[in-house]
Amino acid sequence: MIKQLVPGQTTAREVVEKLGGPNEVVQLGRRTAYRYDSSTSKSALFSLLLVTFANQDTRQDRLWVFFDEDNNLTHFGATYGSHRTQYAMPWEDVHEASDNESRDASRAGVGK
């Protein structure tokens, strides 16, 4: 759907018809911007009597679309991170590039 967005051609109405209502509408002077996002969290908990080890990893897919004062699309930018969330222990680095690459490869439209 996002690949169908064409700056200079797509209108705000068409964006809403394709993607639904945005999470937030921001006024930027005479321009406007819509934010779409979706979050995913994965939590892991390991308890040993008086000590608990916990990890919570939260990431987002985000899309911002920017319109001029005539509600025509001028720019858009997307970030895909929700598929990268991990179950882990608190001493583990959940932002390692190798982990991200393997998860990107398994998500359609994101991996190379």
Shortest gap between Cβ of 10 and other proteins (angstroms)? 15
The reply to whether 19 sits near other proteins by the rule CB under 8 A is: no
**Helical residues (DSSP H) of the chain, grouped into ranges:** 12-19, 97-105
Per CB under 8 A, which region of 14-22, 30-38, 101-109 contacts other proteins? 30-38
The reply to whether 112 sits near other proteins by the rule CB under 8 A is: no
Q: Burial, 19: exposed, middle or buried (Cβ in 10 Å; 0-12, 13-18, 19+)?
A: middle
Q: Which of 4, 6, 70, 75 binds other proteins (CB under 8 A)?
A: 75
Per CB under 8 A, which region of 8-16, 77-85, 103-111 contacts other proteins? 77-85
Residues in Cβ contact with 74 at an 8 Å cutoff, skipping those fewer than 6 apart:
7, 8, 31, 66, 67, 68
